[in-house]
Amino acid sequence: MKTKILSVAALALGLTAGCAFAQSSTVTGAAGGAVTGAVVGGPIGAAVGGVAGAIVGTAIDPPPQKVVTYVREQPLPEEGTVVRERVIVGRSLPDTIVVRAVPENPRYAYAIVNHERVIVEPSSRKVIQILN
């Protein structure tokens, strides 16, 4: 029984790492985690998976559509910043990248990196969404 609980907990933590880069809401994260946990570990797995999914969903909620629209409408500079590191949701941008505020919503900022528009959290510079 202990082995099964530990296996489910390890699976939930593994799912947390992979799901951290998905842009889902708390509800979607909790539901997805609970379903996966239930399939693998029954009722205990559902509980552990639901909690892990909810934590992941809370960490990276997508920005409002108004912010996405604003960032999409901003012109691309002739010479954009190119970095060797891959830009990944959940990771912070390097300090060398210029981050611009979203005037109507100070909770969000954006940058142009590797010819892509990226929405970030201003204080941590953590990538919230990559727009294509």
Question: Which residues partner with 112 through β-bridges?
Answer: 117
Residue 65 and residue 40: Cα distance in Å, rounded? 36
Contact, 51 vs 34, CB < 8 A? Answer: no
117: part of which helix (H) or strand (E)?
strand 116-121
- Residue 131: per-residue pLDDT: 92
User: Is residue 5 scored above 60 in pLDDT?
Assistant: no
Report pLDDT digits (tens) over 79-109: 767 778 889 999 999 998 999 999 989 999 9
- Residue 25: per-residue pLDDT: 44
Contact, 99 vs 110, CB < 8 A? Answer: yes
Residue 49 and residue 129: Cα distance in Å, rounded? 24
Report pLDDT digits (tens) over 58-85: 456 889 999 999 999 998 877 767 778 8
Q: Which is more confident, 132 or 46? A: 132
Tally Cβ neighbours within 10 Å of residue 19.
Answer: 23
Q: Which domains are present in the chain? A: 84-131 (3.10.450.160)
Question: Closest by alpha carbon to 86, among 19, 21, 14, 16?
Answer: 21
